[in-house]
Amino acid sequence: MPTLPWTVPNTPPARAEATVFASRFETRTLWGALKFLLRTPTIWRQVGRAPGAYGATLKAAPFRRTFWTLSVWESPEALKAFAASAPHGPIAAGLRGQMKDSAFRTWRTTTDELPLDWKDVLRRFS
């Protein structure tokens, strides 16, 4: 699966502060990677209609069993509401047993910086 294109569910206001959330997941097995991939479209649709979502993308290396997500939100509260809501919350909980490793990064940016560059994001996981 290639990198999903940057999607903009809600047009962000100019020069506004925003919350960035990035994650890296490594599954234990290829079966776990397949499970992750099979659930991706459901989460992607949810992001596309999530209140407060300013943008999102996903980078996948399924044969390396590694996935990265990147999303930008109007506030930490909007991000938390999305993460806890269905279908994301239950799907994430159901996939926990498949994970070998997970890492998360959050930081602030301005909406004028969007979309973010994957090279800059991946450096934060090095």
Eight-class DSSP state of 2: -
Mean pLDDT across 27-50: 97
What does the pLDDT average to over 86-114?
A: 98
Of 25, 124, 118, 15, residue with least CA distance to 70: 118
**In terms of Cα–Cα distance, which of 88, 98, 100 is closest to 32?**
98
Average pLDDT value for residue range 2-29: 96
Please count the other Cβ atoms lying within 10 Å of the Cβ belonging to residue 79: 21
pLDDT digits (tens, 9 = 90+) for 40-65: 999 999 999 999 999 999 999 999 99
Identify the pLDDT of residue 43: 97
pLDDT of residue 1: 57
Does 72 score more than 70 pLDDT?
Answer: yes
| 110: containing domain | 30-123
- Rounded-to-10 torsion of CA 36, 84, 123, 68: 10
| Residues 121, 98: Cα–Cα separation, whole Å | 24
pLDDT, residue 2, reads 78
CATH code assigned at 69: 3.30.70
Amino acid at 49: R
Euclidean distance between CA atoms 14 and 53, whole angstroms: 15
Domain count, the chain: 1
104 domain residue, yes or no: yes
